[in-house]
Chains A and B, each alone.
Chain A
Amino acid sequence: MKNKKNSRQGLTLKQKEAVTGYIFIALPLVSLIIMMYYPIIRSFFISFFDWNLLQEPTFTGIENYKTLFHDEVFRTSLVNTIKWVLIYVPMSVVSSFLLALLLDRKLKGAGFFRTLYYLPVVCPIVVVALLFVWIYNTDYGILNFLLKNLFGIEPVGWITDSRFSLFSIAVMSVWKWAGYNMLIFLSALQGIDENLYEAAAIDGITPWTKLIKIKIPLVMPSIYFVMLTAVIDAFQMFTEIFIMTKGGPGYSTYTVSYYLWSNAFEYSKMGYACAMAAVMFVIIMTVTLVQNRIMNKKVQYDA
């Protein structure tokens, strides 16, 4: 209690402040180390072992990585992830951006529509996946019925035909996440300085030029953000696959996360799964860094 009286002298107060600071962050820091940093290191460590949990782990060096390099299923999972990104990202970015453009104006009921569009985002992914399994059902699904009766299209095995399965899950994801991305674009659009529009109006530019020259460039950081998130999520996609296809038909919807999970928890190949996690870690970090680079270089909007 004397410290308080001597607080003018500074030193004790400063030390006291530091101690308080460490006490405040102590548990989160311990948790961070045990739950994040220690597992990261241990994961790399385990990846050099052959370990099925029943026997003692045996050191195999880079054997797991060698196997991984020649593993057809892993390659398919990677290709699927890339395919997914190529299908999902354009659909998602374009549709969410159009939605944001629609709602970026004075509109009666804008709040209502925003809320409505956001509803799928808060839905548990399990619920959404089960719902679309029913909608996509080949024989009794409402989608095939509508397509047949409106356009005369023969029934399609949306998630049972390997040609469509990835695409169908992507469509579902666009439906689920459009509201989220829309809100991000919307807040970017609403952050645009009104003066820019006024200046543009004086110059007499068309709405099209306004879109191309003002809106899109200024929303670019958000577009990069949405794309980066989509790429990272693609590697981590698990629940949709688990509920809807279990990776099938064939290996057509295997994602890296799903293959990793099945190696670790179905086949108990812990070392192999950790090697996969390491590769994934490197890929995601590379994507993040590259995209940050592009963003810092290309996106200049503070002019």
Chain B
Amino acid sequence: MSKKKMKALFVYMGVGIVAILVILPFAWMLVSAFKSQRELFAYPPTFFPTEWKIENFIEAASRGSISFWQMFLNTMKIAVPSTVFNIIFSSLAGYAFARLRFPFRDTIFMCFIAAMMVPFAITLIPRFLLFKDLGFYDTYVPLIIPIMFGTPFSIFLTRQFFMTLPKELEEAAIVDGCSHVRIWAQIFMPLCKPIIATLSVFQFQSSYNDFMGPVIYIASDVKFTVQMGLSSFRNSFTSRYDLIMAGSILALIPVVILFICCQKYIVRGIAMSGLKG
């Protein structure tokens, strides 16, 4: 075998071993979710279940304090408005910072950038007190409001993107007396579809995966999000790992679908989040 082929073989072996290390835990989750309780704790353990219990999924979906579907809907009530409004407000601000001139523009922009470095713990308690005093404890408001009016990261990214667009783009429109809102809506937004997609996926994921937020603000179990419901599974069925794994898979399905559909945008998002460092 030539030296080149040997090298390729080693590379594929390395890549393959890592792939197995990544897949194995997922595979274990999947087969555990289908096992009967007896088989789950059998010694020695079997890999494939002798009897595939689809009932586990039905039980996991219905046996929590509220149904899985309801938890999913609850999560959507947070994730969808957060994401949609975040994109609108962030890109408007991004447009202003990239294209309009006004006093203190760069100072204000720096205030947004500086906020990206602030650890969440420092704002956690005062925010909680503020929302509690306003009567928003045990509602979704505290989980949506801090995101929906634009976040520094989204504003930063849209601004950077708008800066790369040529000036000539809007000059003709301005001469024609076109308002900036129209330039933003009809010229800039259509051009930045890819970055909107990236930001949407990111924002949606971070709302869907958020755990600490709901833990702090949500008290009644009819309002549980998917992540909270899943965590409460562990308390209600302590050693029912069959149900916990089935529930985990249910929670994973939307994420995996989103990931497969929007892979391109997610990967681009990483490249961009790496840039900020």
Contacts and interface: CB of A to CB of B under 8 A. Distances in A.
A126 interface: yes
B97 interface: yes
B126 to A, nearest CB: 4
B28 A102 contact: no
Of the listed residues A107, A134, A235, A285, the one surrounded by the most CB atoms of chain B closer than 10 A to its CB is A134
Nearest to A18: B102
B102 A225 contact: no
B32 A134 contact: yes
Interface string B207-228: 0110110011000000000110
Contact of A242 (B43, B209, B211, B271): B211
Of the listed residues B32, B103, B241, the one surrounded by the most CB atoms of chain A closer than 10 A to its CB is B241
B61 to A, nearest CB: 15
B1 interface: no
A20 interface: yes
A187 B35 CA distance: 41
B50 interface: no
B73 interface: no
A105 B14 CA distance: 13
A119 B259 contact: yes
Contact of A264 (B125, B152, B245): B125
A76 interface: no
A25 B126 contact: no
A239 B211 CA distance: 7
A274 B125 contact: yes
Contact of B118 (A36, A107, A145): A36
Contact of B119 (A124, A242, A281): A281
Given A18-B101, A239-B212, A277 B115 contact: no
Interface size classification for chain A: 35 or more
B179 to A, nearest CB: 8
A75 B12 CA distance: 46
B11 A113 contact: no
Main secondary structure of the interface of A (DSSP, over half): helix
12 contacts: A21-B102, A24-B95, A28-B149, A28-B150, A32-B115, A36-B118, A37-B111, A39-B123, A113-B18, A119-B26, A126-B251, A273-B125
Given A17-B100, A39-B125, A43-B122, 20 more contacts: A20-B180, A22-B102, A25-B97, A27-B89, A28-B112, A37-B111, A40-B122, A46-B125, A117-B22, A122-B266, A131-B25, A140-B45, A142-B45, A187-B271, A232-B119, A236-B120, A242-B215, A256-B121, A257-B121, A261-B124
Interface of B: 11, 14-15, 18-19, 21-23, 25-26, 28-29, 32, 40-41, 43-45, 89-90, 92-93, 95-97, 100-103, 105, 108, 111-112, 115, 117-130, 145-146, 149-150, 152, 155, 177, 179-180, 184, 205, 208-209, 211-212, 215-216, 226-227, 230-231, 233-234, 241, 244-245, 248, 251-252, 255-256, 258-259, 263, 266-267, 270-271, 274, 277
Per CB-CB distance, the 10 closest pairs between chain A and chain B, nearest first, are A225-B277, A28-B150, A31-B149, A39-B126, A21-B102, A24-B96, A18-B102, A21-B100, A39-B123, A42-B126
